[in-house]
Each structure stands twice: as C-alpha cells, then as structure tokens.
Amino acid sequence: MDRIKIVGGAPLNGVIPISGAKNAALPLMIASLLSEDILTLANVPRLADVSQLARILGNHGVDVTVAGKRPGEMELTGQTVRLDARTIVDTTAPYEMVSKMRASFWVIAPLLARMGQARVSLPGGCAIGTRPVDLLLMALERLGAQIEIENGYVVATARDGLRGAEIEFPKVTVGGTHTALMAATLAHGTTVILNAAREPEIVDVADCLTKMGAKVRGAGTSTIEVTGVSRLHGTHHSVVSDRIEAGTYAMCVAMAGGDVLLQGAQPELLQTALDVLTEAGAEIAATNEGIRVRRNGHGIGPVSVTTAPHPGFPTDLQAQLMGLMTRAKGTSRITETIFENRFMHVQELARLGARIHLDGQTATVEGVSVLKGAPVMATDLRASVSLVIAGLAAEGETTVNRVYHLDRGFEQLERKLSACGAQIERIAGER
C-alpha cells in the first residue's frame, strides 16, 4: 500500500490548481442514466471514486470514455468523460459494487425514472456513521414508487412512471435531494422538494439537468420545483470547482505559512470556511484567477466552529480545521452535527503531539507550540488529509499510511503541494 512521507517546516509558495468537485462529478455521471443521448462532462477529477463509478455505470450498459491529460502531467485541467447510456442492459446494482462507494446507491433514481424499475443493493456500513438511505427511499415513494427490501437489495418499481408530488425532508440531506431531483425530471407533473440541500454541487447538477432539457427552478434554495418532461437530451457540461479541495489547501497554507494562489477556486462557494480562516489569522483575497491565501510571520488564532449544511461550515472541512487548530495559540472548539463517528482522526493527531479532548459531538483543541512527526494511519478521506496538514508543520518526518483514502478525493495532492515547496512524497507500496 502506498504511503505519503512529509518532512515538516517548509512554507508553501506558488500556484495550486483546483480540480473539479468530486461531490458534483459523481451525481453528474449518474445523471447520464436519465438520457439516451450522450452526456459529456469536462473538468472531471482523476479520482479513485470516479473510476469506480465508471465501472458501476458500465455494469448498467453505459459506455464511458475518457480523454484528457495523463496523470503524470502537472497542468491539471481535469479530464473529459463521455457517457453514452443509450442502452441500459441491467437495472441491478450489485452489492460488491455499491458497497465500495455509497454515492453509487443514487443510480436507483435515474434507473427508476427512465426504466420503471431498479434493484440496488443497500450500501452497508460506513466508517463515518450509518448514513441511512431511508430519506432517499421516502422521496421515491412520494413520487409513486413501490419499494420493497429483498435479501439486502432495494427493489423499486414504477410501472406507469413516477408522478410529481410534494417531498418534504425532515432534515437536510444531500443524497436525498440529488435522488429526488433526478427522479423528478422524468416524472409526470410537478414535484416540489422542501427543505432541500443548498450545496453548490446540487446547483451544478441542476444546471446540467437544465441543459439536458429538465425544468428545474430554485436549486440553491431550500425549495426546488421540478416539472417533469418526457425525455432528456445530451449536453456538454463542465464540473464546478471543488470547494472542499480549495478549503483544504487554504488550510495547508495557513498551517505551513507562505503565499499560494488557489487557481480556479470560487470564493463564493466556501465563504463561511474562508471567514473562519481569516479569523484564525490567514490573509484571504479573491482574485480574477481564484483565491490567494497568505500567512507570513503571524501565529494561528483559535476558533470555535459548528458544522452545518451549506451555507454553514462544511462537515467535509471539519477534520482539516482540527488539524490546523492543533497549532493555534489558544483553545478551539469544533462541534460536528452532520455525521457521527467523524472524529476518528483525533487519536492519530494525538500521535503527533496534539492535545484534543472529546465530549460527545464537541472536540476541544488546546493548541501546542510544537508537533512531532510520527507514523500515522488514515481512517477516512477527510481524516487522512488532516494528518497531512498537521505533518506540514510537524518537526521531523511524518508518514501517512493507507493513503488510498486520500486518492478517493484529492487529485495528485503530493504533486500539488511539492510544487509549492512542501517536502512531501509518495512512497509506492508493494502491489
């Protein structure tokens, strides 16, 4: 298994190109199942999750072809993925595929809307909590689907097609909103989604669906209205930039010091996180090219943050912020309200000398003046990069093991950081 070795203490200076958003690319790829025509997606990141979803879609009969710069080339403008779902050969998504990536469960919506049936494995356990699919199934039932659970599979049918309805989620759910949005595009009549997720990735998917001929209003607000159409056509769409990647690298600069342009980052997509970084002492400036982040000579100030659905502080940046706060001059408090079990990085940060006390959903971080490098273990995608952030400032050498978690969500992380002066390298493991 590959490892990443970091020698801390080097400031970061230069340019880091921000890739397309994984959290938009995956549902956009799944949306290809809604049309018999070709969907072409530009600015798709080269990630393990993208490759896995391509295999899952191929199992349904989608012809997936990829063009773009090779991974070895530093200029990262994303790859272009062409998805041809003209012929659906199988409406079953098997356990061995769905269990590897939870987002693949969302194929149930377009398969049901277009084919009138879908048989999709329940996704099983997850390292950061149960993340149940009950709200997704509730949305489909409101649209007239018949849902049965058989031998660990969800069997959904809508022989006469789905019908528009009012769907009110009891809590904000990104997966539920994606599911309802995709299913409603081909339903008879109008669907109103209440308490919808407002994430930029929802807006990006809605924009693409609109280009495909869907009638969607209100994406980005808590109420989305979808008027169903008889068919969707193909289109060309560029994936929105990854706000989580941008926020992560901004925290890397805040931790290591230096001056970096996050090229292609869109500040309006992560303003709450940028405000927190400004409070912590980083200098943030929006430019025509992206976001410029600086920290030169000033210490890191403590902050108190509670994760919340967009436009609140993203749960997907919670671990990274905790990594940064390990070196703050004072005590920080971070409260996680979205996912249970999302503090698994705490014990690994402690191996570097961090002082963190857990009390239920809240972590109290007492900043220390020195972190010491050590071998650490990645436990999930965001936790793994928090260890990288801490390692950038730790004395000596930090080795992050199980970096396949990183590869699920960060494109060429070690290349992007080393290009800005970080002493970081990937050590290939035995195959």
- CA of 275: how far to CAs of 190, 269, 282, in Å? 38, 12, 9
Find out whether 316 is annotated in a ligand binding site.
Answer: yes
Return the structure tokens found at 358.
Answer: 């857990």
Find out whether 133 is annotated in a ligand binding site.
Answer: yes
Q: What is d(CA 326, CA 53) in angstroms, rounded to the nearest whole number?
A: 35
Find out whether 338 is annotated in a ligand binding site.
Answer: yes
pLDDT tens-digit series, residues 309-323: 999 999 999 999 999
Which three-class secondary structure state does DSSP give residue 119? strand
Find out whether 102 is annotated in a ligand binding site.
Answer: yes
Look over the chain and give the mean of its residue pLDDT values, rounded to a whole number: 93
Peptide bond into 311 cis (omega under 30): yes
Instruction: Please enumerate in sequence order all residues whose Cβ is within 8 A of that of 429, keeping only pairs 6 or more positions apart, or say none.
Output: 1, 2, 3
Which residues lie across from 235 on neighbouring strands? Answer: 39
Instruction: Please enumerate in sequence order all residues whose Cβ is within 8 A of that of 125, keeping only pairs 6 or more positions apart, or say none.
Output: none
Task: Output the pLDDT for position 76.
Answer: 60
Catalytic choice (126, 208, 252, 420): 126
Q: List, in order of start, the domains of the chain with CATH numbers.
A: 3-18+241-427 (3.65.10.10), 22-238 (3.65.10.10)
Return the structure tokens found at 194.
Answer: 């209440």
Residue 35 gets which letter from DSSP? B
How crowded is residue 26: how many other Cβ atoms within 10 Å of its Cβ?
25
pTM: 0.94
Find out whether 231 is annotated in a ligand binding site.
Answer: no
By mean pLDDT, which of 73-87, 132-146, 175-189, 209-223 is the weakest?
73-87
Q: Average pLDDT in the 45-61 region?
A: 95
Angle (deg, nearest 10), helices 243-256 and 381-393: 20
- Band (pLDDT 50/70/90 cuts) for residue 127 is very low
pLDDT tens-digit series, residues 327-339: 999 999 999 998 7
Find out whether 135 is annotated in a ligand binding site.
Answer: yes
Find out whether 22 is annotated in a ligand binding site.
Answer: yes
For the cut 60, the answer to whether the pLDDT of residue 394 exceeds it is: yes
- Band (pLDDT 50/70/90 cuts) for residue 381 is confident
Q: Average pLDDT in the 356-377 region?
A: 96
pLDDT tens-digit series, residues 152-174: 899 999 999 999 999 999 999 99
| Annotation marks residue 126 as catalytic | yes
DSSP of 311-351: TSB-GGGHHHHHHHHTT-SSEEEEE--S-TT--THHHHHHH
